[in-house]
Amino acid sequence: MPKKIGSGRPPQSPLKRWFFRAPIKLYSAGMGWLLGGRFMLLEHRGRRSGLPRQTVIEVVKHISHPAPARYYACSGYGEHSDWFKNLRAHPEVRITLGRRTRAATARVLPANEAGLLMLDYAQRYPRTARALVRACGYEVDGTDADWRAIGDTDMRFIESGVQQ
């Protein structure tokens, strides 16, 4: 099983928050394409205020066939991330990848799908996956079972299905 090594909560220091929010400025300036296809700007509504919110998150997997396209992302801080809480309340979102913006509907993946997605991600990007889970307060032993357990229990994954 994954070993917990930190709080598993989003960064609270002003410098860390600035660092994590800086990519939004790239998208605002029309330069989101600099981040490549591995990141997307997620526009959503606040769960209490209903006001528009934005965050840039990593696309851990993209499936374009069969249509409609689906983009998968991970909330490394699980259910503690504000954007994740907002999606549960308001699943209608807009996603921007590069220069293309699309309406989408987000859904939280069930544990078994999330575990398989985490395993797939770890197999494709082993160093990045290890760094991600470490930054989120976990340590894994590298076995398939450990990677699946992270997705099954700790990290939360979403699927954003593009509306046609």
Q: For 54-97, write each residue's pLDDT tens digit.
A: 999 989 898 888 888 899 998 877 787 889 999 999 999 999 99
Specify the 3-state DSSP secondary structure of 139.
Answer: strand
Element (H, E) at 134: helix 126-135
pLDDT at 1: 61
Which amino acid is residue 122, in one-letter code? A
Q: Is the peptide bond before 14 cis (omega within 30 degrees of 0)?
A: no
The residue among 48 and 153 whose pLDDT is bigger is 48
pLDDT at 3: 60
| Superfamily of 8-117+157-162 according to CATH | Electron Transport, Fmn-binding Protein; Chain A (2.30.110.10)
pLDDT at 12: 66
Element (H, E) at 14: helix 14-28
CA distances from 101 to 71, 128, 132 (A): 13, 26, 26
Taking residues 5-16, report their average pLDDT: 64
Nearest-angstrom CA–CA distance, 81 and 120: 23
- pLDDT category at 158 given cuts 50, 70, 90 is confident
Which amino acid is residue 67, in one-letter code? A
Domain ranges of the chain: 8-117+157-162
The residue among 136 and 84 whose pLDDT is bigger is 84
Cα angle vertex 158, ends 157, 162, to 5°? 155
The residue among 53 and 99 whose pLDDT is bigger is 53
* Average pLDDT of every residue of the chain: 86
